[in-house]
Every structure is written in structure tokens, then in C-alpha cells.
Structure 1
């Protein structure tokens, strides 16, 4: 469709509202490509999918989809022979895990006998890759971190690193807590150049031997690696390098494992994105109370209680709009600000939404047509750049419209012929409507010209309409009245606001008789319409009462049937109890008879005894008169735990993944790098969150006492700079990503000194002043590498 029509009717804003419900990048791409279609089968297919998603939203709360990134670039790199990093492999693993979850979700829908028109067809196209998914889940966490279980070698290396770090810290603590502590600027252990060091006062640099790796900004503190731990640091560095090599090897191995299945993974990602798209359409439909329209290939449009989708549904006035069956053109008249323009936009935008496969903001039973194009000449088209007046701009647009319309076009004119001499404008408006009608296009036009009221009566296939105006309150009601032209209210309004009656009477005498007759006819039509509406309202009240009575009777009958079945079952159970007691007595009698047969030799036939007991057994009545409830069975099955399920361990408040079942009531759960045996009572199924906090690689005990902000206000320059140096060391050791230094504004000397220090510190990634409401240039936020 033409871009001008889409922009004029604000189609893009509808797409923006749908985007608010999207959770995957692939789904976002589908929303971006959304546009009205003209193929009946495609439109109906998309409407069916939207309705399927609406049913799932109502019955199951929607299709459960997590945040998924676009894996197309990752698959392209694999096809080129490259290896993926941890985050990229985690994204692929999330797609595969979601694929499995969606297949199980739709299987549950099928088992629950929930009927869908289209969406089940997509499920068969999803490819499960269980071995790859299992390996990725075992090796890569959601944030891209490689787990210890990725390989035995990596596990051993990390254990060695932990032992080495523990030994180094223990050795350095001999310096920070022993007699040597007096040579230190501060009793802490930190890291410089990826080696453990301690802060030594410059005058005691020779006390520990070893190497100097850094110094404070003032030069008063040297960060020294004591000779006693040089070999330990060397060993640790070798282990860290071995860890990096093993991690690279694992990433390459996993990339090679995935590479042959890039096409299947891309297809899975596309289908998941499509499910996200239809899910978003359903959620959007729910938010605006939209319904599924039927499609009329004859363009017989009937929008019941149509509302503009971009306006507040609680405030907007709904209107019935009909076009195409009995008339192809509507001429709408009425006062300014009466709702004529909104009515035009509502018709055009709803038609575009329906042709895009979206539910529309109307009541049930609405119909849309199929138009090859929708043209709109709405609003002030004045162009200063092109030196065009409002009238000229409108005419330029109308010329373009007339050159492109056909019998499958919908044309919307707002204030047709306005902006010029009224007599000439009315004549042009009539001629333009005739030209549009000659091409068979469907038209709705608004106007102020009274000549077009007569046009609506005289032209075949054309009808008048108006926006209702309450002459009592002197306010528009925004209701569209089909078949009634707009009546001039100038005289009534003038009288209401106090204009002398003689002046009003004289003005009326100056109008021609035809105009007065037309206004009287319009007034009579509106009066009769009001009577018809009052009668319809009374009938509606009666219908509502009758419907309520019918519903009450139906409910009472249902309760009666349920109670009857319950009482019948209780009676049968009681009868069975009586029969059971009788069977016990019968068994005793039969036992005695057999005893008599043995002891007294009386001839009693065995089959007669069996028949007698069978007759007693047949007196039992079945008590379960209801069929087995498959929905309840599926609901119970859904709560069962399975391998690779994501769960919450309630005791620890941590999420993990089920590895294997250890016993009837216990599971082995992967919690980060740990595996624990947890009781089922302590587990709860969860959906995996898309974003997790960054992992903390190293945390010293000092981190628990180090604040994320440093307040230096009121301190001398030298003392403040010394504190900054020590504070930066502390927060680096604590592993903080960012901190705030509050230095105040003052003369600016301290701020300048801190800025120079941060520029020279190699561990600082970036820094900036705080937001205006958080201190402005009186505070600096520091981000570390």
C-alpha cells in the first residue's frame, strides 16, 4: 500500500504498540515487516494464527517464550568456519532449550484436546537436537560462563588455581598480620598485572624483595610482589594460561559440534520468533479488546462498535460503520470537532489492521473487505517549502489519488473542496466524488458544504451521514448517524447563548426556502431516529431480562443434574455396602453347605453354588459415572520433573538444572559449579531468565566492608588524594564494577586532581560526572575494566 496512506492513518503507531509485547529479536523482525496484504488466503491464515494465539492466551496465559537474541550472525560465523564465544553458545543453547519447551507446551495443548487452526502445523517443523542441547547445558551457563563440567581437564585446572590462590593469600597474610605489617600502607592484599601484591610504604621497598608492579599516584605506596611468593605467582599464572587454553579448546569443540546443524537451528529460531510474533498480536488484541473479523471478498464492510485503536478505549465513542453493500460512498457532514476526521481514520486504520492479520477494535461479528490500496487525504497539507497553499496541497494529493485508484481502492477525503470559494469548492467536491465513483472506488468524504447533502440523496450508491450534535447541551456526541445529513445548528446555538431573537429571525429570513426545508427534513429524521432508538432500547432491556432468566434456569438445571448424579452415586455406594455385607453372609452359608457335602455326603452341585455367588456379585453398581478427565491428568503430568528442567531450590533461593533422578523423591541438581542432591519437596519448576548478573570472579573478605561510594567533602587535598588511592585499591580487590567519588564542587582543585588520577590509572575503564539530580559535577562515577 502507498506509504502516504500508511503514514496519514498512523499505521506505524499500531506496530509500535505490538512491539511492546515482543520478547525475541526474530519476533521483532516480523513486526517490523508487518504490512497490509491483499491475498485472501494469506490474510485468513494470519487471522487464524492470531485467533489461535488468543485462545492460548485465554486458556494458558500465552505461549511461554523467554528473551532470545538473533542467532543468524552466529550461524553465519559457524558456516565460515569460525568458533563461537561463550555468550554466543549460550544463546544457541537457549534456542534449543526453548525449542524443547515449546514442543512440550504444544503437546500438552494437544493432549488437553485444545483445538487450534494453524499453530500446530508449525510444531512439526521444529527440530529437537537433544544431544547438542544436553552438551551445551552441561558446558555453558546462561551468561556464557564455561562450567567445570565442560571437561575433566578444566575441572582439575580450576581446582589447582583455587589451591594456588589460597596458598598465596595465606603467605601474604603472614605479612599483613605479622610484624611486617608496619611496613605496609594498608593491611590488604591486592592484584596488579594479574599478580598478587601488597601495598608497601616507599621507604621500606627493600624489606620484602621481589618486584614492584605499580605505585600510587602520590608515589608514597609501592605495590610489591614479595620474593617469597614469586614462584607461587608464576605457578598460578601458568595455571591461568592453561585454563584459558582449555576454555578455547572447549569453545572450538562445541562450535564444531553445532556447525553441521546451522540450518536446523536457524529454522528453530525463526519458528520461535514467529510464535513470539503471534503471541504479541494476541496480547495486543487483548489490550485493546479487539475481535477477529470475517472477510468479505465483495467488500461488504460492517464494523460493529468500531473504536480507534490509538485512543483510550474508556473514553472513545464507538460507532457502527457500514460501506459496500447498499452504497459505495458516504458523505459525512457535521460541526467541527464533532469526530468526522477520527471516524475516517478509524475506518481506514481498522481496515489496514484486518488486512495485516490483526484482530480489530470492534465488537464480535464485524466484517472487513480487501482493498488493493487505501488512499487518505486528511489533515492540513499546506507546504511552505513547496509554496503550496492548503487548497493547492490538497488538490495535488487528490490528483495523485485519482491517477492510481481502481475498483479495489478505498478513498478517504477529509473536508473535500475546502480552502477556496465555497461555491467553487462544493462544485469541485461533487466532480471529484463523481470521478471516484466512475472508477468504482469506495469513498468516505467529510464536508461542510450543504450542496453535498443533496448529492448524497440524488446519487445512486451514495448515502448521507453526520456526526450527532446535542442542541440542548450544545456539545457533539461523536456518534455517527448513517442516513441522516448534518443539520446546521447556528441559529439554535445563537439563541441558546443569548443572541437577540429578532436578529436570529432576520437571519433565518435571509436563508433560502430550500435550505430551511432541508434543515426541517433533517430535524424530522433525527426525531424519528430518536423514537426508534428509544424503542430499541426498551426491547433490549426486555431481551436482557429474558436472557438473564434463561441463564438462571440453565444454571439451576445444571445444579439439579449434578446433585442428582451425586445422590445416585451415594445411593449406589450404600447399596454396594449392603451387597458386600450380604456376600460375606453368603460366603459363610456356602462354606457351611460345602462342609455338609463333605461330612454328610449330600449331593450339592458346584455350579449352582457358583451361580448363586455370581448373582450376588452382579448386584454391585458402578459409582464412577464420569469419564476420566484428561485435562486434570495433563495438568498433573505438567508438574512432573524431568531431566534438564530449570528449577528453583527453595532452601537456598538459587536456580539450577535437573541432572538425574537419584531416588523416588530426590534429584541431583546442578547449581552453578556445584552438584547437590535435593528433595523434590524443595524444588519448584521455573522459566529461565534471559539476563543474569555478571559472575564475580574473585571476592576478598574486604569486599564486605568496602562501600560503593567515597565522600571526600571537607577534606584537605593531600589527605583526600591519599584516600582516593587507597579506596581504588580496595574496590578493585573487592571486584566492584563501578563506584562513586563525592568530592563536592568548591574551587574545583580536588575534582581536577581526581580527574588526573583516574586518567593515569590503568584499571579505570571510564568515568563521568553524576546525573544533575545525583550531584552533577560534584560527584564522579568510575567504571573499572
Structure 2
């Protein structure tokens, strides 16, 4: 990719923003070197990597890069069998720990969504838990080795502690006995040896070794002779401690050397994942999407936003090119957004071709191009003595010589900077040449000749940026298919230019030109109205689809609840019958025992008859109980809106809302729902009153067991939303006024997803975070309607 286009389209600024999300310098260097890939499959792979990382962040939160630092230099030293210091060893240990945790983070559970590309990368990570444990057992911090790094070090430090205690006791005693000779009644340390601050005039009164003196010479720091042996022992122990620490560091360094291949492999995978997740975090910040890629160079950007502009204020633009038209000529007023449109299209292509997600809506498409050429902005060069026109022409000559069918060419104000007639003719000739080379072209212009060229040339489409003459401000919306109308007369009129001057100006313009401009205005108005109507219709259709989907889910849920209630009632009835039969058998058994004790066989025969009667009656009850829902009601004699009927599928009364249609279906009101059912499934409601009452009791019995809370911890966002929606339906049907959703604190991703769902849930009146004693930020309390 040519460097000029990358510079003009400000791709370096995008890379700087992505680099802010990287953890290590190595990953930042990857981002600095980032540029469009020259292979179609590589672009697809890199985009997919970033998209999977983007979804992982949204489902599981931030990846566990905590404690990971760049260890490139340490690994170079370890590879040569060099001894590493405590800081380098600790950082390598943290890198191994981080690689293991990242592998666990990406690993998929049975119910979770797959992320095959990222999983493939993490599959190459080899956990080195044994190496981790050795490093963390031996090293506490970058400057401290643990006492338990080895038994030798532990014994040395214990002895050192005892010797220090002894020498402090001894020197404290010497301070007291020699206080009259001392500058201060205290002791100090010089060169790791305990000394007394003796006044210089009394140096002979305190025999010992002089280690130092004060700057004034008034104080000598003397090591008393009685302490020399103790201090020597302490010094010897300190040397042993240092030697043991060096041995431990050497041993750990050798462990890394022996595992250098997996250690390096794990570390470089971490660098790669750091690079990928930095792109994903940036995409998450801008609410980006992954576009599809067209080998043929087709472009379809839906509500594209320039990533360097304020995302809360930028006006999205939709651009399509390549299927029927290879060139797009954009016209409109200055500051209307023409140049921003060119830069948006160019920059988003460079980003996507570099494996970066782009700020567009779903189902957007970018074209795969080997080159993106851009001639945008003021190219005047004082150093090279080139005018604006000359600079533009120099750049355009390079584009003409290099562009082909795999190129995207962006030309801003083509032909400007010279005589309008000659400039327009040059612009048309340049566009026609590039069109014949089958390059994809986006060009902006003020020339009417280019509007006419686009209207009469196959494969060239007009577009314009909308301008509001009422407010004299651009709307920054792109209208494809309509050339821009010159607004000079309207703007001048609103700014106070006299009407007679405007009329005089119009007389100087040919009638055909005025008619052409009026036609453009009419087309613009119709296009805007049609676009608004289409947008509104699409919005209403999507809303209707969502409502329909929700109702279908709820109807399915109610059917399931009803079936569960019936099954539960049947199970309870069977248990009652089983217990009754068992009790009757027990009674008969007892009677037989009594008979053996003296009762007659005639009495036994009577009891057997009674038992058979009990069994017969119980069987009848059982048959009646389980066939109650199979009773067929009387068919409806007539069907009309407002009539009450009974729907056996829901086991409840419904109100008919419409007459039967051509399919024999009617719309009915069932509780809070409106559903379509077959007219033949409806029966007279009077015969079902008792059944409905009895069935309702069964359902209520089942729903009373609905819990007052649901625990979502451990679930991903999609699973949690599904289970919460299902639970709220059951809680609502059970008549609960309040329910608690337990999502845990964590990264807050799960809490945010649940609360976004609660905002639009039909059963939710309000919700709040838990208070002290309720679970705090780890729960959301839902008030039901």
C-alpha cells in the first residue's frame, strides 16, 4: 500500500489510538508496523481474529493480562544460558501465569459459543505450572527473595537474625557503659558493621577499629574490639546469603533455559493476543462491526462513521459502489461533508484490510483492493515551487500510471485550481480513463459538467451531500443517485442580496441550465422523502417482527407451563391413588391376620368385596382425572367479534376479535396476548367453566413453587438473558411482585447485559441494584407489573 494514501487518510492516528490499549511494547511495535495485508485470505483471517476477540470481551470481560510485562530482553539473555535477576525471573513467571490464565479464559465450555480462530492460537500455549510455582515460591518481589527459596537460605537467614540480635544486645550494653565518651547515646552501622559514635578526644578510651569519621572530624565511628568477632560472623553469613541467592537465581535461570522453547512460544503468543485484543478493545470503544469482503471490489458501507471524529456528533453516511456503477461523483456545497465522505470510505477500507473492525452497521461490505490511491486536500508545495493545481496533477499522473482494476481511487475537487472550462474537461477525461481501467472511483467536484457526465455515462453514478437552505447549514447526509443542486441563489437571497440582482443573475444563465438545476432540486426532495418513508417502514417492520417474536416465545412458554402443570397434577394424583391402594392392601393384610386369629372366612369374603369396590372406585377416579382435558365441548354455532369461546389448547376462555379468514383462522384475546388460532379449535365456553377452574388450581399449585430469585453467575450474556427472560415469565404468571436476579460483581458485563434487557421487558415495572444486606452491586432487584 502506498505511503501517501496512508498519510493522507491519517491511518497513523488510528494506529496510535489502538496502541493505547496494548499492554506490552512488543504488541505496540506490531501495531506501529500494521498496514493492509496483500492477501485476501489473510485479511479474512485477521478480521475474524479481531471479531472473535471483540465478542470474547463482550461475553467474558477483559482478558487476564494483569502482571504481564515485556520480557523480550530477558528471554534473549536466558536463551544464551545467562543468569537472570529477580525482576526478570518474576516477569517471566508472570508471563507463564498469564498465558495459562488466557488459555483458560478462551477455553470453551459445552454451552458456550465457539471462538475457533482464537482457540487455535491458544491451543499452542503449553502451561508450565511447575516452572511458575518454582519462581513464585523463590521470589516475593523484584527486590526480595523468599526465605523459603531453599532450606540453606532459610537456615542462613535464621542464623543471621540470631547473630544480629546478639550483636544488638551487646552493643546496647556498650552504649550504656561508654555513654560519657559518645557523641550520642546510640549505635549505628558502617559497611555492614555495628559501630559507636565516639568523640575524637576519647578515641583511646574506646579501643577498637575506626571505620569512618564525621565531616567535621569531631566524631569517630569505632567498632569495639569485643564486637569484631560477632561482626565478622554476621559479615560471613551475609556473604553466604548472597552466594545462596545467586545460586537460586542461577538454578531458576537454568530451569528457564531448559524450557526456553515453550517459554518463548507462550510469550510470543501473548504478544500476538495482546495485539489482537488491543484492536478488539478499540473496536469495542467505537461500537464497530466486522464487514464482509468482496473479491470483486464491491462496496456497501451502511451508516459508516469516520473513526477520528466525535462519535456522538458525527453524521453516518451510507455508500455503495461496484455492482452496477464503478464511479461515484459527489457534488454539493463547501463544508458539506464531501471530503469527509471520501476520507471515511478510504480510511475504513485501509482499517479493514489491516484486520481492524470498522464503525459501520451490520451487513456492510468492503472491497478487496491491492491499492488505495488518494488525492485529497491542499497539495501546494513551496519547496518544490508547485502550485495547488500542479501538485494535484503530479499526484494524479502517478495514480493514472499505477491504478488498475484492483484499485480504489479517491479524488477530491478534481480539476480545481485552474480555468473552470479546462478543469472540467480534464476532470471528465481523467475519470473516463480510470473508468476504462475498471478502477473503483469516488470523486468530489463543483463542476456541472461532471454531473452531466455521470447522468449520461453508464457505470457512473451521481451523489450529493444534502444542504438545508432554511438554516443555511449542511446536514452532512449523502444522497446517492441525485446530483447536488447549486444553492448559490437561495443562500444569497437569505443573506440579504437584493431580489433584482438575483433575477438579473438568472437571466444570464441559459434556460436549460436553470431547468436542469430545478430538476435536481425536485429529485432531491423526492429522494429524501422516499428515503425517510423507507427508513420509517423498515423501523416499523423491525419493531413488528420483534413483537411477534416475543409473543411467540411467550406463547410457547405458556404452553410449556400448562403442560408441566398438567403433568405435575397427574403425578400427584397417581401418588394419591398409589398410597390409597397400598393402604387398602395393608388393611386387608391386617384383616387376614385377624382371621387367622379367629375371624371366619365369610367375614374375609365380605372384606374382599369391599376392597374390590374401593379399587374400582379409585380406578374410575383415575380415568376421570386424566381424561378431563379430553372432553370435547360443543362446537361454536356462530363466530363473530366479541363472542366468548373456550380454547382447549390453552385450557382457558378467550374472546374472539375477528371473523374467520380464508385459512379458517381467527384472532383471539387470551389474557394479555392476541393470537391466531383455527376456528375449529374453539368450542362453547359454558361447558368448560368447571374444567377451567380445576385446571387453574393445578397451574397455581405448580407456580407457587416459583423461586423469588435466579442465579446467573458463571453464565455468558446470551445464556443469562435467555434464562432471565424465561424466569420473569414464570414469576409474572406466579403472581410475584418482586424478583431478585443474581449476576455477581465481576467485570460488570453481565450486569450491564441484564439491565439492558430489563429496560424493555414487558413484565418489568422498574428495577434497582441491591442494597446493603441484599447483595449490593452483585444483584438486581426487579419490580414486576
Q: TM-score, normalised by structure 2?
A: 0.73
Compared CA separation, residues 301 and 144, structure 1 to 2 (3 A): farther
Distance 2:539 2:39 in 1: 42
Compared CA separation, residues 382 and 576, structure 1 to 2 (3 A): farther
Say if 2:377 and 2:412, in contact at 8 Å, map to a contact too: yes
Compared CA separation, residues 486 and 236, structure 1 to 2 (3 A): same
User: Aligned runs of 1:35-114 on 2, under 5 Å?
Assistant: 35-107=35-107, 109-114=108-113
Tell which deviates more after alignment, 552-561 or 80-89.
552-561
Report the alpha carbon displacement of residue 303 of structure 1 after superposing the two structures with TM.
Answer: 0.4
Deviations 1:677-732, CA, capped at 9 Å, x for gaps: xxxxxxxxxxxxxxxxxxxxxxxxxxxxxxxxxxxxxxxxxxxxxxxxxxxxxxxx
Report the alpha carbon displacement of residue 214 of structure 1 after superposing the two structures with TM.
Answer: 3.2
Deviations 1:296-333, CA, capped at 9 Å, x for gaps: 11111100000001111101000101111121111111
Q: Which residue of 2 aligns with 1:156?
A: 155
Distance 2:251 2:179 in 1: 48
Compared CA separation, residues 551 and 175, structure 1 to 2 (3 A): farther
Report the alpha carbon displacement of residue 7 of structure 1 after superposing the two structures with TM.
Answer: 1.2
3-state SS, counterpart of residue 488 of structure 1: coil
User: Aligned runs of 1:360-759 on 2, under 5 Å?
Assistant: 360-540=358-538, 542-543=540-541, 546-547=544-545, 549-550=547-548, 553-554=551-552, 556-557=554-555, 560-561=558-559, 563-564=561-562, 567-568=565-566, 571=569, 574-575=572-573, 578=576, 581-582=579-580, 585=583, 588-589=586-587, 592=590
3-state SS, counterpart of residue 417 of structure 2: coil
Distance 1:56 1:45 in 2: 16
Deviations 1:546-584, CA, capped at 9 Å, x for gaps: 245425524643653565366457646754764675477
Report the alpha carbon displacement of residue 77 of structure 1 after superposing the two structures with TM.
Answer: 2.3
Q: Which residue of 2 aligns with 1:126?
A: 125
Deviations 1:731-754, CA, capped at 9 Å, x for gaps: xxxxxxxxxxxxxxxxxxxxxxxx
Say if 1:50 and 1:278, in contact at 8 Å, map to a contact too: yes
Report the alpha carbon displacement of residue 144 of structure 1 after superposing the two structures with TM.
Answer: 5.8
Compared CA separation, residues 558 and 216, structure 1 to 2 (3 A): farther
Say if 1:88 and 1:144, in contact at 8 Å, map to a contact too: no
Q: Which residue of 1 aligns with 2:231?
A: 233
Report the alpha carbon displacement of residue 28 of structure 1 after superposing the two structures with TM.
Answer: 2.9
Q: Which residue of 2 aligns with 1:316?
A: 314
Say if 1:90 and 1:144, in contact at 8 Å, map to a contact too: no
Distance 1:90 1:371 in 2: 46
* Runs of 5+ unmatched residues, structure 1: 605-611, 636-785
Distance 2:197 2:376 in 1: 74
Say if 2:30 and 2:275, in contact at 8 Å, map to a contact too: yes
Distance 1:413 1:548 in 2: 43
Deviations 1:504-547, CA, capped at 9 Å, x for gaps: 11122122333322211111111211331343354246435524
Distance 1:374 1:268 in 2: 36
Distance 1:268 1:594 in 2: 81
3-state SS, counterpart of residue 110 of structure 1: coil
Q: Which residue of 2 aligns with 1:260?
A: 258
3-state SS, counterpart of residue 160 of structure 2: helix
Q: Which residue of 2 aligns with 1:283?
A: 281
Tell which deviates more after alignment, 290-299 or 135-144.
135-144
Report the alpha carbon displacement of residue 344 of structure 1 after superposing the two structures with TM.
Answer: 0.7
3-state SS, counterpart of residue 119 of structure 1: helix
Compared CA separation, residues 210 and 584, structure 1 to 2 (3 A): farther
Tell which deviates more after alignment, 90-99 or 239-248.
90-99
Deviations 1:21-54, CA, capped at 9 Å, x for gaps: 2123443343233221132221221222222212
Distance 2:501 2:371 in 1: 50
Tell which deviates more after alignment, 34-43 or 326-335.
34-43
User: Aligned runs of 1:188-199 on 2, under 5 Å?
Assistant: 188-199=186-197
3-state SS, counterpart of residue 486 of structure 1: coil
1:342 aligns to 2:337 (yes or no): no
3-state SS, counterpart of residue 504 of structure 1: helix
Q: Which residue of 2 aligns with 1:292?
A: 290
Q: Which has the larger radius of gyration?
A: 2
Distance 1:333 1:139 in 2: 70
Distance 1:180 1:569 in 2: 97
Q: Which residue of 2 aligns with 1:701?
A: none
Say if 2:23 and 2:69, in contact at 8 Å, map to a contact too: no
- CA root-mean-square deviation: 3.5
Compared CA separation, residues 132 and 517, structure 1 to 2 (3 A): same
Compared CA separation, residues 143 and 112, structure 1 to 2 (3 A): farther
Distance 1:305 1:634 in 2: 33
Report the alpha carbon displacement of residue 123 of structure 1 after superposing the two structures with TM.
Answer: 2.9
Q: Which residue of 2 aligns with 1:648?
A: none
Say if 2:68 and 2:98, in contact at 8 Å, map to a contact too: no
Compared CA separation, residues 570 and 515, structure 1 to 2 (3 A): same
Distance 1:598 1:218 in 2: 123
Distance 1:634 1:532 in 2: 45
Report the alpha carbon displacement of residue 12 of structure 1 after superposing the two structures with TM.
Answer: 1.5
Report the alpha carbon displacement of residue 415 of structure 1 after superposing the two structures with TM.
Answer: 1.4
Compared CA separation, residues 155 and 441, structure 1 to 2 (3 A): same
Distance 1:417 1:405 in 2: 18
Q: Which residue of 2 aligns with 1:22?
A: 22
Compared CA separation, residues 278 and 162, structure 1 to 2 (3 A): same
3-state SS, counterpart of residue 345 of structure 2: helix
Tell which deviates more after alignment, 208-217 or 487-496.
208-217
Q: Which residue of 2 aligns with 1:13?
A: 13
Compared CA separation, residues 594 and 633, structure 1 to 2 (3 A): farther
Say if 2:67 and 2:95, in contact at 8 Å, map to a contact too: no
Compared CA separation, residues 402 and 634, structure 1 to 2 (3 A): closer
Q: Which residue of 2 aligns with 1:719?
A: none
